Structure 1
Amino acid sequence: MPNSSHESHQVASWHEEAANLLVAARRQGTQLERLPVKLRPSTVDEGFAIQRKVSDVLERRIGAWKCALPPAGKAIAAPIYADSIYRTAQCHFSAGSVQSTVKAEPEIACFLKRDLPARRHAYGEAEVLDALGDVHLALELLGSRYSHPASLTFPELLADGLFNAGLFIGPRVDFIGGMRPDNLPAEFTISLAAAGETLVSFEGRHPDGNVLSPIVWLANFLRERGLGLQAGQAVITGSYAGVLELPLGRQLQIGFGALGILPIRFIFSE
């Protein structure tokens, strides 16, 4: 008969070994080609377990979550640490190497005004909606601890937080005309303006059609694993225009249709 305690310890051990490599890459600003074969997750559960170990080892407070309604066999959920959330229009941030652009995704950030803790029964849309408070324009800042992430499996990407490198919180959305988090427009024009350059615009669309459904999914995904969402945390639910390459050092104005304009200037810090 197998020793279940011993097997559990072995599983925890290799999860922690994998997490330690990803944590070292974060702290040193370096990249891995990929995890060693013996530490490589092959399932969503293994990838998420390593992701949780990364958070445990880092001991950084979670200030937000990214999520989306997952395709079959995947789970789109990853923490964003509070010390990598920026709120001033002069956005000083550090990266693994000197670069000329920042990869970012235009998103809507929904803040929780009350906890959605772990519990036995599922959360419904009405209860999640009631827990949501302010909504802000936002940019998810992208990066990876892998040197060639496009060639890796989904569980490996999940272990590393699904490309998350930070979050910029822009202006609050004023709810007028009965607008709420569950009826924000699914489509609007994303515009990008920089001084002295021609305005660029994109037809923006939320990948899941609305911001509420992914948050309901996330609340239940975490609940089933003994985790929860906390008041004050933000949740982002998908890019309205894919990945944008934004220049460093330029004053930018990013328009979110009628919802508002997000001003930002990225400044790289060593």
Structure 2
Amino acid sequence: MFFSVFNVLLIFHHNTSSVLPEGNKMENSEKFEHIAAHLLSKREYGSGASDLPKGFTLGSIEDVLAIQKLMIKHNGETVYGWKCMLPSNNGIITLAPLLHKPIYATKACLLKTKNNKALIEPEIAFILNKDLSALKVYTNEQIDNAVGSAHLALELIENRFSKQYEATQFEKLADGLSNQGVYIGPEISQKKAYESNNITLIVEQEGDNSFNVAGQHPGKLPQLPLYWAINFLSANGFKLEKNQVFITGSYNGLMEMEINKQIQITYDGLGKIHVKFET
């Protein structure tokens, strides 16, 4: 049964955990509908936590993919891209849809903060220039040709689970791995992006709070997770469309930035991001 995004979110806007039925009394399809609407409502309204009620569990990556597809459906069949990394040595997958429209190089970036700090991760973004059909296998060269541009980017982070709740990896995946959006900075050379294993990051904040860090990509090269993600998503029936954004791993993990201050982040040898974070 199809629910409009308005109706789904309205149902779960207030104290979702009190209205969800017991998970063990439900079929998986109904359970997934409830979980998808619950998690999406926390993104849209920001009230309460993403904690799943007692009895609602996710046991496999297949469960996660089913919920991600439902969240995309309830998001008006819209997905703006993906955050991804290479699978870990023990097979843990890092992949989540970007459900909010990317913010393109604005002077001010609105976001939800934690303790009046903006939580970000410095990355490189790749933007597709064409649609890629599902259920097909793509070579690295075909994926290279489907990348229209590379950009400096900042992932905007928001942990939506409560402190006392021990979310499983599957629950974190279903909730988008703490993603709240992506800030797209200036375009850079795709060739240089593909060579960017190590980058010195120079962070200058209004006032005297400035520092340098030696950034390293967790996938060795930023395009390698892109190659994996495109084929994994295609194999699992996801739409890969022109203008979708792919971010593939942070060069320095989570960083706390001041709000309401001018900030410049230099990716040495690539370019600079100028931004002010606001709530």
Q: TM-score, normalised by structure 2?
A: 0.84
Matched-pair contact (CA < 8 Å) for 1:105–1:242: yes
Give, in angstroms, the shift of residue 149 of structure 1. 8.4
Matched-pair contact (CA < 8 Å) for 1:103–1:246: yes
The whole-number CA distance in structure 2 between the counterparts of 1:226 and 1:149 is 35
Distance 1:123 1:185, change over 3 A: same
**Corresponding residue for 1:75?**
93
Distance 1:52 1:240, change over 3 A: same
The whole-number CA distance in structure 2 between the counterparts of 1:198 and 1:144 is 25
Q: Secondary structure at the match of 1:238?
A: coil
Give, in angstroms, the shift of residue 31 of structure 1. 3.1
Aligned to 1:46, which of 63, 88, 96? 63
- Paired AA for residue 19 in structure 1: A
**Corresponding residue for 2:216?**
205
Matched-pair contact (CA < 8 Å) for 1:33–1:148: no
Q: TM-score, normalised by structure 1?
A: 0.87
**Corresponding residue for 1:237?**
248
Aligned pairs, number: 253
Runs of 4+ aligned residues of structure 1 deviating over 3 Å after TM superposition are none
The whole-number CA distance in structure 2 between the counterparts of 1:168 and 1:38 is 36
- Paired AA for residue 73 in structure 1: G
**Corresponding residue for 1:3?**
none
Give, in angstroms, the shift of residue 152 of structure 1. 1.6
Q: Secondary structure at the match of 2:242?
A: coil
Matched-pair contact (CA < 8 Å) for 2:109–2:275: no
The whole-number CA distance in structure 2 between the counterparts of 1:79 and 1:115 is 16
1:144 aligns with 2:154: no
Q: Secondary structure at the match of 2:70?
A: helix
Matched-pair contact (CA < 8 Å) for 1:15–1:39: no
Name the Cα RMSD after superposition.
Answer: 2.1
Unpaired segments of 5 or more residues in structure 1? 1-8
Give, in angstroms, the shift of residue 99 of structure 1. 4.1
Q: Deviations over 1:116-164 (max 9, x none)?
A: 22034x2121111111121110000001331238832100001101110
Unpaired segments of 5 or more residues in structure 2? 1-25
The whole-number CA distance in structure 2 between the counterparts of 1:33 and 1:110 is 29
The whole-number CA distance in structure 1 between the counterparts of 2:185 and 2:221 is 19
Matching of residues 50-129 of structure 1 within 5 Å: 50-59=67-76, 61-71=78-88, 72-83=90-101, 85-95=102-112, 99-120=115-136, 122-129=137-144
Matched-pair contact (CA < 8 Å) for 2:111–2:118: no
Matched-pair contact (CA < 8 Å) for 2:75–2:99: no
**Corresponding residue for 1:171?**
186
Give, in angstroms, the shift of residue 260 of structure 1. 0.6
